[in-house]
Amino acid sequence: AQSVTQLGSHVSVSEGALVLLRCNYSSSVPPYLFWYVQYPNQGLQLLLKYTSAATLVKGINGFEAEFKKSETSFHLTKPSAHMSDAAEYFCAVSEPGYSTLTFGKGTMLLVSP
């Protein structure tokens, strides 16, 4: 069975500050890992994904994440937050060969001027 833990239901940063959203996973097999962003009343948009290639993954909107097997983590970072980054972020895991995703509970990112 797989599971995802996102530490912190809410993270607040100032505009221009570093964004760090934490994600830890549990999986019995080497996982595929994803970060999605959801704006209010919208579906999910893929930010980036890890599928067993490079451990440092770059995504859209300046976000990146690093897969650390020893820490079973896949934290999402962005060097400088922008007001438009305010949204809900979901970390998800799947098994290679299977499309079904297991989601974390989400982290709401709040960006203040």
Partner 1 sequence: GAVVSQHPSWVICKSGTSVKIECRSLDFQATTMFWYRQFPKQSLMLMATSNEGSKATYEQGVEKDKFLINHASLTLSTLTVTSAHPEDSSFYICSAPGTGDTQETQYFGPGTRLLVL
Give me the residues that bind partner 1 (CB under 8 A), please: 32, 34, 36, 41-46, 49, 51, 90, 94, 96, 99-101, 103-106
User: Which one, 73 or 94, has the nearer CB to partner 1?
Assistant: 94
Interatomic CA distance for residues 110 and 88, integer angstroms: 9
CB of 36 to partner 1, least distance (A): 7
CB of 16 to partner 1, least distance (A): 27
User: Which one, 28 or 99, has the nearer CB to partner 1?
Assistant: 99
CB of 51 to partner 1, least distance (A): 6
The full DSSP string for 9-68 is: SEEEEETTS-EEEEEEEE-SSPPEEEEEEE-TT--EEEEEEESSS-SEEE-GGG-EEEEE
